[in-house]
Amino acid sequence: MTNYSHSHICQCLSRIATAHRASSLTIAGNRRQTGEQFVNSVLALARGLLDLGLLPGDVVVISASNSDWYLEWLLAVAFVGGIAAPLNYRWSFEEAISAMVAVQPVMLVIDESCCQWYSKLRNTDIPSLRWQVLIGSHRPGYDKTRGALTTEELKKYHVVSLPLDFLHAPEDAALICFTSGTTGRPKGVVITHSALIVQTLAKVANVGYSEDDVYLHTAPLCHIGGLSSAIAMLMLGARHILIPKFEVKSAVEAIDLYGVTSLITVPAMMADLVSLIRERDNGKRRESVKKILNGGGGLPLELIKDAMKFFPRAKLVSAYGMTETCSSLTFLMLCDPTGETSIPHFQSYAQSNCHSIYQPEGVCVGKPAPHVEMKICLDDSSHVGRILTRGPHLMLRYYDKISPRPSNDVNEVWFDTGDIGSIDDNGNLWLVGRSNGRIKSGGENIYPEEGHLSTSYTNIDSSCEVDYSNEFTTNEIFKSREALINWTREVGKRNGLVIVIKTSDAGVNGRRPRISFGCERSGSYRRLSKLEVLEDRGARKLTGTKKCGCPFLLKGQKLTTDGDWMVKVVCGVHNHVANKNMEGHSFAGRLSQEENEILMNLSNSSVRPKDILSTLKSRDARNASTMKTIYNARHRQKRVEKKQKPDMQQLFGGENSIATSRS
């Protein structure tokens, strides 16, 4: 059977070798490669892999920071019919081992960021693993550990002219890309060559990618968003600017130095870029940037305006998609300086109130790409239902051979995205939330908009649900973690709610510091009864609980600029009545550090407790403290002061008591 009609991502090599024969194709730090050099490096590495014994269908796991070497490995593995499986370099060793056990690789390729894995792999049994290879610079000694190879050792042939006769893996598989794991353990998704090329055409049609672009790699190559855009730019023959990972200062410097025309962002990246440009560069505009593709969540409205201001010539496009669909399903033109937008009433955010894409029924994520077919599977009489899709953009399967979820239609097979939404009369998709995040309220289904977060809330009182999303939605950038905490608690107090910290992550292994806030009534308690009757032992009194499984959730994240933080609403619903009066509340009535200092100063000045309380309430009308709070605080302070005194001073009640009695 002939293969001349089969798609293959290595078809880009002919174009690169011709269009960029003598000009720079990749720039990574101090390294520059022309198109000819890059193609020869890919072919030399492919020859080395063939000689080593890599066979079509073999899985090669890659875990490394972004670099030109990473691109070479992706193409070289595909060239010989292998299947590249990028792993997140931020994963722990245990997470990486779990993924490798799932895909059974024959080769592990890592750079210095993951070199510690070598020593740990000695005690880990992965029977399929035959070779370990190091990319780029590495610590002395690691290249000799357990017979590890280097990329340079594999490129032992100097390729002058090698026919571009690439091989195919079974089922046309090109990559195994892992999901983010927000709905459980990350799953390996098998992506085909055809899906990657179709995705390239979608980005050309909707974003305007072209061979004239200078593309900055801001997204990691282990993520489907970064992978699909990288392959698209390789297919087009565009120039690649590679930074190891997104750091806002490095990104802005690369934009200025190389005249970057195209990049992709997520909301946190855009917030970092806007913040740095505003504060460090006094709002200097970057007019070289022509295309920005945003994914991973909707941009706040103020952030859209700032992006338009600081990137005045950039077409700003938002995309909705997932790993299983090889990245983007739909595209929405948020801003186009040429005025050629696909949806007329989105042409100018500057002259509008910017509320047109944010409606009670969800968030508009645009129209499907030309190759994408979508429909809504309605579960009841409403116009909102499960979002289904089919077409050449879809994954082949999960690597563990779990088939895509089919609809109930016996004659058609559609992939269930797991999201809930609707399609309007203009063909725009409106995203409401996740199907497994549905909350029953008064006989109706509501879907807190959570992107791809999994929820399993219980004990919800459907008669008392109130949505406070608007009250907690803000575009404000907070200057510190403490400022963010104070703001959330203050907003909660204004609305009769007590907001507490649920989880806090200081940020290790390259992760950004994060914090999540919940309602004091979230979760559940092991006992709810007031009295437990015990056989032969009478009765025992038990405590009650305020816990009612409240689903309210906020998530804060530290930006990369200074100590700035931002917060987003994950679920704004409270399933209980708000407090009409916070007076005497065990948490809301606590004194702040400043209030404690005032109390101590006034107490040391012999001010009466009731006057201290009056002073605190005059400073803050929402102060919920009581006389009991004042007495307790005074008692604690006296205990602290007593512990600081010597034993003899405590015995005689003061420093000069003995001298005074003698006199």
Tell me the per-residue pLDDT of 320-357, one tens digit each, with 9 for 90 and over: 999 999 999 999 999 888 775 444 334 333 333 334 45
Say if residue 490 is in the same domain as residue 612: no
Domain, as residue range, for 602? 593-652
Say if residue 185 is in the same domain as residue 40: yes
Mean pLDDT of the chain: 78
Query: Which pLDDT band holds residue 373 (cuts at 50, 70, 90)?
Result: very high
Paired sense of beta strands 24-28 and 239-242, if any: parallel
d(CA 602, CA 321): 59
Which of 206, 233, 252 terminates a domain? The answer is 206
How many independent structural domains does the chain possess?
A: 4
Domain-located, residue 538: yes
Q: What percent of the chain clears pLDDT 70, i.e. is strictly above it?
A: 74
**Dihedral sign, Cα of residue 503, residue 501, residue 274, residue 295:** positive
Q: Are the beta carbons of 433 and 419 closer than 8 angstroms?
A: yes
Find the mean pLDDT for residues 437-459: 38
CA dihedral 490, 492, 498, 501 (to 10 degrees): -70
Domain-located, residue 159: yes
Domain-located, residue 659: no
Residue 536 above 80 pLDDT? no
Say if residue 65 is in the same domain as residue 182: yes
Lowest mean pLDDT among 90-94, 257-261, 283-287, 657-661: 657-661
81-108: buried (b, 16+ CB within 10 Å) or exposed (e) per residue? bbbbbbbbbbbeeebbbebbebbebbbb
Residue 543 above 80 pLDDT? no
Through-space distance between the first and last CA atoms of the chain, rounded to whole angstroms: 116
Residue 440 above 70 pLDDT? no
User: Residue holding tokens 């038990």?
Assistant: 542
Domain-located, residue 461: no
Say if residue 153 is in the same domain as residue 60: yes
CA nearest 598: which of 623, 571, 569, 563?
623
Give the H/E segment covering residue 257. helix 248-258
Residue 607 above 50 pLDDT? yes
- Structure-model confidence comparison of residues 100 and 452, the more confident one: 100
Say if residue 531 is in the same domain as residue 634: no
Strands (E), 312-395: 315-322, 327-335, 358-359, 362-368, 373-378, 385-390
Q: What percent of the chain clears pLDDT 90, i.e. is strictly above it?
A: 33
Q: Are the beta carbons of 460 and 448 closer than 8 angstroms?
A: no
User: Residue holding tokens 């079974």?
Assistant: 170
Q: Are the beta carbons of 305 and 354 closer than 8 angstroms?
A: yes
* Most confident of the following: 96-110, 579-593, 595-609: 96-110
Domain-located, residue 213: no
Q: What is the pLDDT at residue 582?
A: 60
- The residues, ordered by sequence, that sit 6+ positions from 17 with a Cβ below 8 Å of its Cβ are 35, 36, 39
Q: What is the pLDDT at residue 585?
A: 63
Q: What is the pLDDT at residue 458?
A: 32
- Structure-model confidence comparison of residues 502 and 529, the more confident one: 502
Per-residue pLDDT reduced to its tens digit, 40-78: 999 999 999 998 999 999 999 999 999 999 999 999 999
For the chain, the helix, strand and coil percentages under 3-state DSSP, each to the nearest 5: 30, 25, 45
Lowest mean pLDDT among 44-53, 159-168, 211-220: 159-168
Residue 133 above 80 pLDDT? yes
d(CA 232, CA 200): 5
Q: What is the pLDDT at residue 26?
A: 95
Residue 29 above 80 pLDDT? yes
Domain-located, residue 504: yes
d(CA 215, CA 289): 10
Q: What is the pLDDT at residue 85?
A: 95
Domain-located, residue 278: no
- Structure-model confidence comparison of residues 636 and 236, the more confident one: 236
Residue type, 584: G
Find the mean pLDDT for residues 627-631: 78
Q: What is the pLDDT at residue 148?
A: 79
What CATH code is carried by the domain that includes residue 72? 3.40.50.12780
Residue type, 505: D
Q: Which residues pair with 292 in a beta bridge?
A: 263, 316
Which of 206, 228, 255 terminates a domain? The answer is 206
Q: What is the pLDDT at residue 117?
A: 73
Domain-located, residue 429: yes
Q: What is the pLDDT at residue 140?
A: 55
Q: Are the beta carbons of 431 and 419 closer than 8 angstroms?
A: yes
pTM above 0.75, yes or no: no
